[in-house]
Amino acid sequence: MKKAGYVVLVIVLIALFLHSCVNIDTPEPQQPMNKQFQETEAINYPAPKNVTIDGIDYRQSQAPIGKFGGTLVASTIGEGPKTFNPFNSKDNISSLLSEIMYDGLLTTHPITGEPIPKLAESFNVNGREYLIKLRHGVKWSDGKPITADDVVFTWQNIIFDGYGNTSTRDSIIVDGKLPTVEKIDDYTVKFTTPEPFAPFIRMLSSPIAPKHIFMPAVKKGKAYFDTFLSTNTPPKDFVTSGAFRLKEYVPAQRVVYERNPNYYVINKEDKKLPYLDKLVYLIVGDINNEVLKFEGGELDVIGLQGANVARFKELEKHSNFKVYNLGPSTGTMFLSMNLNTRKNDKGKFNVDPKKQRWFLDKNFRQAVDYAIDRKNMVFNIANGLGAPLFTAESLNSIFLNKDLKSYDRNLEKANELLKKSGFYRNKKGKLFDKENNPVEFDLYTNAGNTEREAIGVMVKQDLEDLGMKVNFKPIEFNTLVNKLVNTYDWDMVIMGLTGSPLEPNGGKNVWMSDGTLHMFNQRPAGYNKDDRFDWEKRIDDIYVKGALATKFQDRKKFYDEYQAIAYEEKPFIYIYSPLIISAIRTRFQNLYPSMLGGLTHNIEEIYEEK
């Protein structure tokens, strides 16, 4: 699933592939990127095992035994979470901070990408049927048992019935039909998809809700549910299943979690994890402030942008932290133009009609694409730690269409394309359209993200070389999201989407014409399906057929085609793919860094060496 807050989006779920009766082929991920920074050595993460003690089915860590106690302090950029309800979350930070508290049935092995049990004790896939065996004796943080009733309620009454953010529901609809879920017994659940559906297994990582807590909110209706477990909710009201539960939230300052004493993961001495007493997220506002707090010792872990990496690598020699290269980003960063031609409730177009004509002109979009100096951006913004990006799939995706070639900046080609559509430049070099309108528009991104702000400055300069006037306007993230998915009143935007290198169907809500993140041509619910570009119709068809194909090579043909369409039509103009570089204090042990999981995917096993 891809989120952008709906946009910057978090990897909420990594695609899970299962060798079963469905026979899903999965080749190894590829990383076609120049390695200008030594990649962190691959680590063989020891996946937990199932053990039963006194009738309770625990998940037993196989990591070295650590020490109990301590606190890990991380950070988030921006203004903080908008909700602690994982089913309402529509932004990266809210997803991160809510899903800490709620586990799913399955999770992903952080090295191999294979599905492994979490709340489930085991699972089996047979064609369209997914049989899930739950752990006996596992409890919510309030001591009540976690049973099949919680699972069925979560999927049927929250996800299938369309409560909260419907991205998960939208991603699993097959030919207008949803899967079914049924209780076999107190600890067994069966899901059935309408057709063999390759991506469904990954959705079983979705959080499970405590029925006895969430049912009253569901009964009060969707409007009430949208406010349920908001950031104003007292921490004592949260009943959770994750390694940590909410202890304190101070708006614009910090979120504090404490260990869940009922957590079902134990170490090899059969003692309950997590090791850490507290997990803290400081709300730091912007990236510069985040760096200052890490250097000042207030933070224990940080993600580094390219401009800071060389200095941190030098500081590492004499400091108490270690820098890790986690490989190429699994997400994408892009420039997009507003292709929306619908009128608002006041009968007016959300975009100036003359700008609509520019943005809808493929020659104009391609000219903008050729004008962008990606190599210069990689060198100056990412400090060389990245590679230009031209495709809708990330550079390490197993579905990457390698036939789509990269190219250098070409202003001559860009000017030729503009000339084809009647654009011309006056004696001062200013660009006009064929109706003599000067080409001027606004370019947005989210304020506080210094990388995107730097990209915006360079895009502005690049497009001014074509005679365009670009008004670059970094704005607050939620204001930007509102423009993209609600009011549609924007011209161009620099944004990013997270994703999985293993499963393109996570982008269904972006690429399907009725998707909640189809931001370049966002449509309201119940739109007229004839209101689609021909290439949108083809992508709609590809995403349906790609999910129903079960063999890798069959699926790849479909996803190669959607990438080729995006490459040609340019609804998103991709910019570059950075390497993911992170640093963490050396006193923290049991680290198994990976491209899929990051540094702290096994937070319950991490301990602080005093």
The answer on pLDDT for 5 being more than 50 is: no
CA distances from 202 to 13, 15, 106, 198 (A): 7, 5, 8, 9
The answer on pLDDT for 30 being more than 60 is: no
Residue 176 Cα to chain centre, angstroms:
25
Q: Residue 175: what pLDDT?
A: 81
Exposed / middle / buried, residue 553 (Cβ in 10 Å: 0-12, 13-18, 19+): exposed
Average pLDDT over residues 45-59: 95
Q: Does domain 332-579 sit in CATH 3.40.50.720?
A: no
Higher-pLDDT residue of 77, 427: 427
- C-alpha angle 563/170/536, rounded to 5°? 35
Distance CA 93, CA 77 (A): 8
Directed axis angle between helix 362-371 and helix 353-360, to 10°?
Answer: 70
What confidence category does residue 16 fall into, taking pLDDT thresholds of 50, 70 and 90?
very low
What confidence category does residue 509 fall into, taking pLDDT thresholds of 50, 70 and 90?
confident
Tokens 């946009």, residue?
Answer: 7
Higher-pLDDT residue of 27, 562: 562
Q: For the ranges 2-11, 211-220, 525-534, which has the lowest average pLDDT?
A: 2-11
Dihedral of alpha carbons 477, 170, 488, 337, sign: positive
What confidence category does residue 315 fall into, taking pLDDT thresholds of 50, 70 and 90?
very high
Record the tokens describing residue 536, joined without a space: 């949108």
What confidence category does residue 25 fall into, taking pLDDT thresholds of 50, 70 and 90?
very low
Q: Residue 23: what pLDDT?
A: 28
The answer on pLDDT for 536 being more than 70 is: yes
Secondary structure (DSSP) of 280-349:
EEEEEESHHHHHHHHHTTS-SEEEE-HHHHHHHHHHHTTSSEEEEEEEE-SSEEEEEE-----B-TTS-B
3-state secondary structure of 231: coil
Q: Residue 556: what pLDDT?
A: 95
Q: Residue 415: what pLDDT?
A: 98
Q: Residue 240: what pLDDT?
A: 97
Query: Where do the structural domains in the chain lie, given as residue ranges?
Result: 332-579
Directed axis angle between helix 450-464 and helix 362-371, to 10°?
Answer: 110
Distance CA 470, CA 462 (A): 10
Distance CA 447, CA 285 (A): 10
Residue 160 φ then ψ, to 5°? -65, -35
Average pLDDT over residues 198-212: 94
Q: Residue 20: what pLDDT?
A: 27
**Quick one: DSSP state of residue 162?**
T
What proportion of the chain, given as a percentage, has pLDDT over 90?
Answer: 73
The answer on pLDDT for 11 being more than 90 is: no
Give the DSSP H/E element, type plus range, for residue 58.
Answer: strand 56-60
Higher-pLDDT residue of 274, 16: 274
Q: Residue 104 forms beta bridges with which residues?
A: 207
Q: What is the mean pLDDT of the chain?
A: 90
List pLDDT tens digits, range 155-195.
Answer: 999 999 999 998 899 889 888 899 999 999 999 999 999 99
Average pLDDT over residues 299-327: 93
Average pLDDT over residues 130-159: 97
> How many C-beta neighbours within 10 Å does residue 185 have?
10
What confidence category does residue 550 fall into, taking pLDDT thresholds of 50, 70 and 90?
confident
Q: Residue 181 forms beta bridges with which residues?
A: 191
Q: Could you report how far apart the first and last alpha carbons of the chain are, in Å?
A: 38
3-state secondary structure of 206: coil
The answer on pLDDT for 555 being more than 90 is: yes
Average pLDDT over residues 581-607: 95
Average pLDDT over residues 449-470: 96
pTM: 0.82
Secondary structure (DSSP) of 351-366:
S-HHHHHHHH-HHHHH
Task: Tell me if 569 sits within 8 A of 362, measured CB to CB.
Answer: yes
Exposure on the CB side of residue 542, measured as CA atoms within 13 A: 25
Q: Residue 431: what pLDDT?
A: 98
Q: Residue 194 forms beta bridges with which residues?
A: none
Task: Tell me if 166 sits within 8 A of 101, measured CB to CB.
Answer: no
Residue 84 φ then ψ, to 5°? -110, 15
What confidence category does residue 42 fall into, taking pLDDT thresholds of 50, 70 and 90?
low
Q: For the ranges 3-12, 273-282, 298-307, which has the lowest average pLDDT?
A: 3-12
Higher-pLDDT residue of 152, 501: 152
What confidence category does residue 378 fall into, taking pLDDT thresholds of 50, 70 and 90?
very high
Average pLDDT over residues 7-34: 30
Distance CA 23, CA 148 (A): 27
Give the DSSP H/E element, type plus range, for residue 452.
Answer: helix 450-464
> How many C-beta neighbours within 10 Å does residue 47 have?
18
Distance CA 301, CA 322 (A): 10
Q: For the ranges 137-146, 306-315, 347-356, 392-401, which has the lowest average pLDDT?
A: 347-356
The answer on pLDDT for 528 being more than 80 is: no
What confidence category does residue 342 fall into, taking pLDDT thresholds of 50, 70 and 90?
confident
Give the DSSP H/E element, type plus range, for residue 418.
Answer: helix 411-420
Record the tokens describing residue 593, joined without a space: 């860094």
Q: Residue 324 forms beta bridges with which residues?
A: 582
